[in-house]
Amino acid sequence: MPTELRVAVVTDIHGNLEALRAVLADIDRRGPFDRLIAGGDYCLNGPDPAAALDLIAERADVMLVGNTDRDILKHGATDPDLGAKKLASIEWTYQELGAERINVLTELQFSETVAPEGDRLMVVHANPNDVDHHIFPDMPPNDVRELVAPFDAGVLVFGHLHIPYRRRVGALRLFDVAACGLPRDGDRRAVWGSFSWSPASGWRGSIHRVSYDHGTTALRMLDCGMPNPDRRIRDLLRATYD
């Protein structure tokens, strides 16, 4: 049994290659890590979906599925909020990825659990049961328990909601480590999470913020041919859901 285990988690890259490069450089600087787990939503709404997917596929030990990865595969057919702009983004991204990368998306797994000495850390995209429903930071405890059941004790690491936070609900510790590519809490810096386990302390977790050149990403959005670049630049620079 290891005396220490270190896990890095990066999620919600959304085709932002500059943010991903900055996060991976920070992971390397703070490393080494025993495992790098990627938490889904790799491509949609960013200017470099193919390069971002290639880079995280090269670096990650495990890749999980997110809702936008599913939407790309299904051309938005299972998205209840699908509109014309999102459909255009899905179709552009699908074409940018090509057949081999689309096949990578078909092979993504739903969750990953790391459990030294039975001390569980689970990584998912949104929650332990689906890739759509958010775990909000102010959600009532009983609603959290219902959404994450039966995972009611240990450490749950996720993204989907692009607002990083940490919280405890009873015996369950929650870490939202999104988003690498499109934070929405008013802070433009890229986000990732680190987790370390030891027999004496169990799991300990941290959420990291990393600066990068947003201007390069914004220019790529203008130049790459993606639909609705003005909207995407606004979302990138405002870094909110408003």
168-182 pLDDT, tens digit each: 999 999 999 999 999
CATH code, domain carrying 158: 3.60.21.10
2-54 pLDDT, tens digit each: 689 999 999 999 999 999 999 999 999 999 999 999 999 999 999 999 999 99
How many separate domains does the chain show?
1
Average pLDDT over residues 84-110: 96
Strand ranges across the sheet with 62-63: 62-63, 35-38, 5-10, 190-198, 202-210
133-158 pLDDT, tens digit each: 999 999 999 999 999 999 989 999 99
Q: What's the angle, vertex CA 47, arms to CA 56 and CA 76, rounded to 5?
A: 85
pLDDT of residue 22: 98
Tokens 């609603």 — which residue? 143
Average pLDDT over residues 46-68: 98
Answer whether residue 1 shows pLDDT above 60.
no
Tell me the pTM. 0.96
Q: How far apart are CA 113 and CA 27, in angstroms?
A: 20
Q: 241: exposed, middle or buried (C-beta count within 10 Å: 0-12, 13-18, 19+)? A: exposed
What DSSP character marks residue 116? G
- Among 207, 219, 228, 209, residue whose Cα is nearest residue 9: 207
pLDDT of residue 2: 61
Locate 225 and state its tokens. 């041919």
User: What domain range is 140 assigned to?
Assistant: 5-238
